[in-house]
Structure 1
Amino acid sequence: MVHQDRTTVSERIDRSCELLRSAYRRRIIYALRRGGPASVGELADVVTAVGLVEDRQRAIASLVHTHLPKLSEAGVIEYEGAEETVSLAESVEELEPLLTVAARQEVDNEHLPFSGGNRRTDAVAGKVPE
């Protein structure tokens, strides 16, 4: 029984690491943790603002066709389609230990300026403290 518990824990860690290996997916989660539910467009603004991609339309396509479906399938976000609001699901708590460490390195040490001063976009990007 102990062996089975270890396997389950190892499998959960492996799945979490695989899910979080993408900077896009980490940024989506950070943004939703800080700013609450957001539109796909707002999340595209986040990944564009932090320099993961330069083109907003390309960011939207990548979110809609790759990253949001993976997070949804994993039960981390609630999302139905491109026009829907994206929000965190309760199961995101399983990722918390890894997210805390990653965010400490990625978000807390950034000093990227945001143009336009859009407080909503800045909060979603994780730049404005709540």
Structure 2
Amino acid sequence: MSQTTSRTTDDGRAVVELGADERYELLAAERRRAVLAVLDERGAPTPLDELAEAVAARERERAGGSADGHDRLAVSLHHVHLPRMADLGVLDYDAGANRVDAVRALRERSD
């Protein structure tokens, strides 16, 4: 079960506070780090297709041209990474609409 807590700052920004284990789990997957970077640049809402294309471009750049195809990457995001990130409270993923609806800033919780 998640130990995630969330709060809203005085300026209205949503912040999720993760324990160390949750933070390590979130950041352990390079693909989730790429998702966070893309969403940091674009914000939300972001359609899955656009997110997958941006993550694929980052992976191609990092791997020197070889990476998963767009469709395969979109399936990975839809079934694995975005649901896990939503479980941690980092983002809101509308799987029916294939869209990331909200993203929260991350902060390490002091346990």
Q: Name the TM-score, length of structure 1 as normaliser.
A: 0.57
Contact 1:33 1:88 in 2 (8 A): no
Contact 2:38 2:51 in 1 (8 A): yes
Contact 1:64 1:82 in 2 (8 A): no
Matched ranges for 1:58-73 at <5 A: 58-73=72-87
CA distance in 2, matches of 1:82, 1:41: 13
Root-mean-square deviation (Å): 1.9
Greater percentage in helix: 1
Kindly provide the amino acid, as one letter, of the partner of residue 26 in structure 1: R
Greater percentage in strand: 2
CA distance in 1, matches of 2:51, 2:19: 26
Give the equivalent residue in structure 2 for 1:14: 21
Give the equivalent residue in structure 2 for 1:94: 107
Q: By how many angstroms is 1:85 displaced?
A: 2.4
Alignment: residue pair count: 84
CA distance in 2, matches of 1:50, 1:56: 12
Contact 1:77 1:89 in 2 (8 A): yes
Identity of aligned residues (%): 29
Contact 2:43 2:103 in 1 (8 A): no
Which runs of 5 or more structure 2 residues have no equivalent in the other structure? 1-17, 61-66
CA distance in 1, matches of 2:83, 2:96: 10
